[in-house]
Amino acid sequence: AGTSSAKAMGKAISEFDVTKMEIPTMPRFEAPSEPISLDIVEGSNAVMSSVADASLSDIGNAAFSGIKFVGGIIVQFLDFIVGAVAGTSLAQVFGNLQTSVQSVIDNASHTVVNTINNLGNMTLKEVLQSLVTLIITIADALLKVMNSL
């Protein structure tokens, strides 16, 4: 089983195509109009002036585009591997996960509502019996702790 998974993963990696990804661009950012000389001081000044002209929004958009691009590659790669190994996609896995979490939340909500309804429907006699049972249980636990000391 391990060999077939390794072969499937190797096949998935070899068939993964990055060339279909969209390359991010930095909006409204232009290269310096002056040619950058080989002089380190002058070249760094030209680069700094072009970077200084970029707004924080431009830099943030470029960083976000880069993160989005790398994240897209990772998601596509993982989706491809999951598809090759398990025969499913990440979307289906996340859909199943969402359904499972939603059912757990629904069941927990239902249990809480039923418990509150049951507490509301208790008679005074049942409340007193439960309270006395709780007091006896706490006292018993405290006595056991005191005896062990």
Distance in angstroms (rounded) separating the CA atoms of residues 113 and 56: 50
Distance in angstroms (rounded) separating the CA atoms of residues 119 and 141: 25
Is residue 103's pLDDT more than 70?
A: yes
Distance in angstroms (rounded) separating the CA atoms of residues 10 and 148: 62
Q: What is the pLDDT of residues 29-42, one digit of tens each?
A: 555 566 555 555 55
Distance in angstroms (rounded) separating the CA atoms of residues 99 and 93: 10
pTM confidence score: 0.38
Using alpha carbons, select from 11, 14, 49 the residue that is nearest to residue 30.
49
Contacts of 54 (CB under 8 A, 6+ apart): 29
Q: What is the pLDDT of residues 117-144, one digit of tens each?
A: 887 787 888 888 888 999 999 999 999 8
